Amino acid sequence: MFMKFGTKVIHAGIEPDPSTGAIMTPIYQTSTYVQKSPGDHKGYEYSRTHNPTRTALQDNLAALENGKHGICFSSGLGAIDAVVKMFKPGDEIISTSDLYGGTYRLFTKIFGQYGIKFHFVPMDDPKLVEEKINQNTKLIWVETPTNPMMNIIDLRKMSEVAKKAGVLLAADNTFASPYLQNPLDLGADIVMHSVTKYLGGHSDVVMGALIVNDDELAEKLVFIQNASGATPGPQDCFLVLRGIKTLHLRMERHSQNGKTIAAYLKNHPKVDKVYWPGFEDHPNHAIAKKQMRDFGGMISFTLHGNRLEDAKKVMENFKLFSLAESLGGVESLCGHPASMTHASIPREEREKVGLVDSLIRLSVGVEDAEDLKNDLAQAMSFI
């Protein structure tokens, strides 16, 4: 049965519990399952390998991304780790130069020492990616929107580059969520989510996921998922299933509030630059408009003078925007990428993409927009 997105989040992959009729997927809090005879079981043997609560979530996530296979991990980085484990020493991966600091750290500090080579390039121009492709290239890794500079990468064009070269294309879709963007529909082979963020939506769970269409690719990733063991527990899967049921409602409000707050910041006399793809003068606005359904609630901005002490004063004096790692929850958060999420990236590399000391990243929540504007106004008064 065809379902639109708002119906999918509630019904796709979800069935009432066959034993009781419970409409909510139960938390199957068990580590193992009784077998009638060796190998004769009901589809479940051990909960690292399979768990009914996780199965329901994986099926739901696959449906939301218009994919065939959903594969969940204990964190977003656990999901990325599984992707890179498909490759071997001597293989090369091309990544966007503006990306989450944890991804950069995993690539360079963990897999770099095992002989996998990474190239970090701006992806506004596909030719820069093509220049790095050689016989050893196996994967192009994309974030869009990027963290924290809110750059938009044209997934269709990047897919053309990848397919021409015979390499895989993976897209980190965390900032957009499946509500705003579906990379598989735009040519990606793998979609990654830090489920912790918008999919969970309530800052109470840590999880990652991969969604793919190709059966062979799914088989490889499921093998790594089980063999490496970075799997989420059933309680976490239950929490995400519950969070997803309001994803469409939350994302509508995040996007509405994001538009209001971005406009407010753009007109504030103490703000220098505002990074939000909904502005018509954003360098990638046309691409964002083409491949996203709306522009979301993630915003980064810098202050005139680019003084770290000014950024600290603003963040220390918020009343509603909480200074904390992460994003995508119902509550508004602020962060300082240079010292928090992106501290693992060398300063000179950060500044090449515009990540300066005064840059503040906002995850605009679902509170009343007027209250959020008032909070920004009072915090800015301290500089």
Catalytic site residues? Answer: 48, 100, 172, 197
d(C-alpha 166, C-alpha 169), whole Å? 10
- Crossing angle for the helix pair 234-244 and 52-64, to the nearest 10 degrees: 30
Nearest alpha-carbon partner for 328 in 145, 194, 235: 194
Count of other CB atoms within 10 angstroms of residue 71: 24
Residue 222 in 3-state DSSP? helix
DSSP 160-206: HHHHHHT-EEEEE-TTTHHHH--GGGGT-SEEEEETTTTTT-SS---
**Residue 139 gets which letter from DSSP?**
E
Cβ neighbors of 332 (< 8 A, separation 6 or more) are 320, 321, 322, 362, 363, 364, 365, 367, 372, 375
Calculate the CA 341 to chain-centre distance.
14
Q: Is 88 exposed, middle or buried, given 0-12, 13-18 or 19+ CB atoms closer than 10 A?
A: exposed
